[in-house]
Amino acid sequence: MKKELRHNLAAVLFNALVGMVVAFFFGFELLIGAIAPNLLMIALAVFNQFYTGVRLFSRGVANAGLLKEIWIGVLMENFYPDGSWLIESTDMSAFVDNNTINLADAGVDPVVLVNNTSYPIAFAERTDVPIALPLDYYDSTSTVIRNATAVQLAYAKMVSVVSQHRNAIFKKNLQKAAHAYGPSANGAFTPVIEITTSMIKSIIAAQKAYDELEVPQEGRILVLSPAHKQLIQDEDYKLFNMVFGQNGSNTLYGFKVFVTTVTPVYDGTTKAKKAFGAAGAGSDLKSSLFYSKYEVMRADGTYDMFATLKDPGARGDIIGFQKRFLAMPIRNKYIGAIIGNAVA
């Protein structure tokens, strides 16, 4: 009984502390912030007792074991860090319904007549094809924590635990997005440029390709692999410093420049993009990506946390997270890649 009392008092204090912090930031009375979450927890506990028979102040009921909302809130906090190239895309999270994006493939464009003299003008009904895109599941493998309820009260330690999961999920999101944004192969609207004599000349060729396709100047993004960034430094250190130096512009030939290690790999023989997670080969080609931020999308769905408290086998609490996410080209147009491992 004394142990239950200690746990519930700790939960009340924790709820009050969190509520006061929230109240401070939103300009509410601190007393209201301290009382409101505890009243909510008591209401939930009464509801739980009514339907499950678990008595009102059994151990952990005051904070419902682990407060998933707190842990998930930490996971979501600053999930996309400042400076991430993935932010440079169209956010379609608002269109997600039940972890699915519902779009429509527009029908055939109308024909435009010039100096027409024949009437009546022909007409046709446009038929749109509905497209349902379910968001992918991203599950982090579980972590064993000794007494996760105590970790929850030690907020800094909880942040440390959750950060590991957030960083792992974010990296996998980046890998999938980079692979999706890379064109499958060279095409009329998906230029794939192979490095021949110069990385810088290849970037200029990408600029030329976009100019000829009349891609808007605003929103042109270049995501370099570290190896290709090194090629620029080797070719022209002055230009490299102007772009990547301490006061660098981070722009190059009309592109806003980022660097990442997760760009897709291309087949050295066919010059086609390899499947995600495919085994490596000696002839593989590294890639850098360029795209219009208005032609690629990302979407976040639900976040969830799974927990087993006091697992007898693990002798601890087991937690893991799940996030729904999707990234892909919107029309499969105006995405490109520069491929090659070295300057010939």
Quick one: pLDDT at residue 45? 56
In angstroms, what CA-CA distances link 121 with 107, 112, 118? 19, 11, 7
* Four-way CATH pick for 66-95+137-344: 1.10.10, 3.30.519, 3.90.1690, 3.30.70: 3.90.1690
In angstroms, what CA-CA distances link 4 with 61, 70, 212, 318? 10, 21, 71, 21
Quick one: pLDDT at residue 146? 85
Interacting residues of 317 by C-beta distance below 8 A, sequence separation 6+: 66, 144, 145, 146, 147, 148, 149, 307, 308, 309, 310, 311
Contact assessment for residue 194 and residue 339, using Cβ atoms and an 8 Å cutoff: yes
Give the integer Cα–Cα distance in Å for 90 and 302. 18
Give the integer Cα–Cα distance in Å for 101 and 117. 44
Residue 36 amino acid letter: A
Q: Which region among 150-154, 229-233, 295-299 has the lowest average model confidence (pLDDT)?
A: 150-154
124's tokens: 């046709």
Structural Rg of the chain based on CA atoms: 27
Give the integer Cα–Cα distance in Å for 250 and 254. 10
Q: Please give the average per-residue pLDDT across 79-98, as a whole number.
A: 91
Q: How open is the CA angle 120-126-128, to the nearest 5 degrees?
A: 180
> Please, which pLDDT band fits residue 3 given cuts at 50, 70 and 90?
very low
Contact assessment for residue 143 and residue 165, using Cβ atoms and an 8 Å cutoff: yes
Domain segments of the chain as ranges? 1-65, 66-95+137-344, 96-134
Quick one: pLDDT at residue 63? 43
Condensed to tens digits (0 to 9), the pLDDT of residues 216-274 reads: 999 999 999 999 999 999 999 999 999 999 889 999 999 999 999 999 999 999 999 99
Condensed to tens digits (0 to 9), the pLDDT of residues 27-73 reads: 667 676 667 766 666 665 554 444 334 444 444 444 445 778 888 88
CB atoms within 10 A of CB 53: 7
Quick one: pLDDT at residue 177? 97
Quick one: pLDDT at residue 49? 45
Condensed to tens digits (0 to 9), the pLDDT of residues 171-207 reads: 999 999 999 999 999 999 999 999 999 999 999 999 9
Q: How open is the CA angle 293-164-160, to the nearest 5 degrees?
A: 120
Contact assessment for residue 192 and residue 336, using Cβ atoms and an 8 Å cutoff: yes
Using CA atoms of 59, 61, 63, 65 in order, give the dihedral in degrees to the nearest 10. 70
Give the integer Cα–Cα distance in Å for 121 and 81. 54
Condensed to tens digits (0 to 9), the pLDDT of residues 103-148 reads: 776 666 788 889 888 898 888 877 777 778 999 999 999 999 888 8
Tell which residue, 342, 86, 82, 97, has the closest CA to residue 196.
342
Quick one: pLDDT at residue 61? 41
36's tokens: 């409101």
DSSP states of 115-167: S---SSPP------EEEEEEPEEEEPPPEEESSHHHHHHSHHHHHHHHHHHHH
**pTM (2 decimals)?**
0.75
